[in-house]
Amino acid sequence: MSVRDLVVLGSASAVPTKSRNHNGYLLRWDGHGLLFDPGEGTQRQMAFAGVTATDVTWICVTHFHGDHCLGVPGIVQRIARDGVEHRVDAAFPASGAEYWERLRYATPFRGTEVIKEQPVSGERMRLDTGDAPFSLTARRLSHPVEAYGYRLEEPDGVTMKPGVLAARGVRGPLVRRLQEEGAVVAPDGRTVTLAECSVRRPGQKVAFIMDTRLCDGVHELAADADLLIIESTFLDQDAALAAGYGHLTARQAGEVAAAAGVRRLVLTHISERYRMEDELRFVEQAAAAYSGDIVLVHDLDRVVMPPRRRG
């Protein structure tokens, strides 16, 4: 059975707390597992979440601040130790290749050749996803060190109309041929097209945006996303700190979601300066700008994709 959800392995910002581990997000997508920003402790969090190294098919690092990458050595070693045989692609800023090298080979251990590196550079870059049922694009963001966000897109498909198919005498193997070829000749000799027997099924989209100020890249990544996973490190009262350190506030995250037509907004990367009783304010401030579905995540939460848009 296909699964599409986000497993939250950690949701803190620079400093982990008693209730929030360093970053770590596993997006499960029809048998693929995209592990974003594995921070310190991610390997143990995976055990608590009931996911394993064999679930990982991508490692995507947004930038090389420690809370977004210090878990890489453990993940790489676990992939090797568990004998993962499938290819695992690794995306990271090309400018930080030296840091990636240090992390990948941080200690002596049995190596693995399944990890294939795809360094990211330029303003935007489309990654090679092979025969995966999605595309993956990286877009430069605005942070004190070079940082990228990621956008996953499923191509549009079609939903067949059973009643129309029956009325035109298209059934059995002819339905598959119609989907593959775009037109078939029905038993009565009429040519039947795919367009008349189906409706467009919009592909789903996920945006992953970590440490950044507001910039063009944020809006480009978030546009029309079904699920937007975005940092909301600060509250309004600390907006000046957010701008200075290259971060977003919860209200800014809500503004991005509203402008982009996002369907589900996931707030994360919460600063250690705030207490548990402050958490409702993150949702309230995001909701002041965005009227859609808002989820302020905690470690080990699972966030499902919203229902598919109608064509």
pLDDT tens, 47-105? 999 999 999 999 999 999 999 999 999 999 999 999 999 999 999 999 999 999 999 99
Q: Which residue has the tokens 């692609």?
A: 89
Q: What is the mean pLDDT of residues 171-193?
A: 92
Q: What is the C-alpha to C-alpha distance for residues 93 and 134, in angstroms, rounded to an integer?
A: 21
**Residues labelled as active-site residues:** 67
Reported confidence tier of residue 2, pLDDT bands at 50, 70, 90: confident
Reported confidence tier of residue 177, pLDDT bands at 50, 70, 90: very high
Whether the pLDDT of residue 305 is over 70: the answer is: yes
Q: What is the DSSP letter of 250?
A: H
Six-digit token string for 93: 């800023």
Whether the pLDDT of residue 110 is over 90: the answer is: no
Six-digit token string for 24: 């770590």
Cα dihedral 211→209→39→245 (10° resolution): 10
At residue 311, the pLDDT reads 67
Is the Cβ–Cβ distance between 250 and 267 less than 8 Å?
Answer: yes
Q: What is the C-alpha to C-alpha distance for residues 31 and 135, in angstroms, rounded to an integer?
A: 15
pTM score, whole prediction: 0.92
Whether the pLDDT of residue 1 is over 70: the answer is: no
